[in-house]
Structure 1
Amino acid sequence: MTVMSPDDESREGRLTAAGRMLAVLEVFRTQPSPLRMAEISRHSGLSTTTTHRLMHELLDWGAVEMAESGGYQLGTKVLELAAASGDALRLRERALPALLRLHRMLRVLVVHLSIRDGFDTVYVESLRSAHGGVSTNRIGGRMPLHLTATGRVLLAYADEGVQEGFLARPLEVRTRFTTTDPDELRRTFSGIREHQVVMTARQVTENTGAVAAPVFDHQERVVAAVGIVLNLKDHHLEDYLELVRAAASQVTASLVPPASD
């Protein structure tokens, strides 16, 4: 049972009903899911009773769902709303043909399209195989930038202030191979800008790797990244560099307006 501090009780008392609901949803934005009820209560600063009631309302509406491994994760309705937001929706629509071609061509775990939101990569499209993918790389899922191939692409082309702000933070470790050394990551960023593609291996799980490439808009700004996730036992990352880079180029071409006569 979560014991609330006087400060938490005071905060909950000041929140409107909508504010309490948003406090619960904010936990899913900032914490890796799936999440247990006690974790949601603790991170939201709400009582167990309030959290229980709100979570059941969100569950009934479809904003959250039960994960196979237990706990709660964001549900389809919230993910669809996130994917349907302005620029993300237009980007997803333009990119989908190239992503589908890549997905049909390759037998990989996931083909996805990512954008950067602060220090996270956010998946705005995720095409998974019948046996691939986890809750974090579904549409609307988030991951710290350094952990994923698409995240490293997005960070490589971010402003220097964004890069240094990210690298100054404690970086999350998922496996014994996770790269957290700032100098090594800076060298990776340089290589991405030079070759416009990147490979990562065993960063999130020890049996998976990824390849990603940047998507540019008509002003040559990187607005997204195309990536694939594959099982290292069955694939060699090097075999997919050109395919992923070509798919990202196709998405870039779809964003560039046709030249006028």
Structure 2
Amino acid sequence: MRRAVRQFFLTRPLWLSIPVLMAFSVAASVGALFLLTELMGLGYPPSFRRSLMVATIAPMLVSGPIGGFIVHLLREVDGAHRRVQHLAWHDELTGLLNRRRFTELGQQALERGLQQGEAVTAVLLDVDDFKQVNDRHGHAAGDAVLQTLGHVLTVSLRRSDLSARWGGEEFALVLPGAGREDAAGIVERLRQAVASTPIVAAGQSLRCTVSIGVAPLRPGDSFDALIRRADDAMYRAKTSGKNRVCLAEAA
């Protein structure tokens, strides 16, 4: 009940929230007046009408500005909480999930896949020759590469997919509902999108490529095992010439 009330005042416009607060205040004040009158056996003398007017008008005058301040404060606190939560769960540079949050959500997706017999695929991407970008163009250019890759992932993937900066220049994905062939198609389009996206840093136009490893979920897989197989496939993509997609070996 308390959560529902809080959600109401967080999501409704002020022009609706304030009148609701005022109505509650008036109802409580008038109700208290009638209750006290009955409990004390005072009856309803001529002065009762004046008391009723006071019990109605006073809460309206007070609850409006106070209620507005409280609702504003509640929304400020909620906004601050959401910002802190976002920082705790996301990588600051790319805006993608961080490794810890990705692992939590990825494990949940894996468990659902195993329970429901649904396909799940893990993917690891590594930026090719990233050290050379930093050495030749500076770390600002390296950051621009990572930010651009984060943007490409965000706009290219489905809403149900998970994407994270796994560490350094490595990125990780979990694709719920995507089997071996579907996942291969998704990441191949992603590889092409990365290769064709220009990156502007310090007045220079750069391009980058990625090597990608794809590992479909197998019965009995743990999340760590799934990621390891994707990592092995990514390593084969790197050693096979880079800028390509490699599938994990089938059992």
Between structure 1 and structure 2, the one with the greater Rg is 2
TM-score by length of 2: 0.28
Larger helix share, 1 or 2: 2
Give me the TM-score of the superposition, normalised by structure 1.
Answer: 0.27
More strand by share: 1
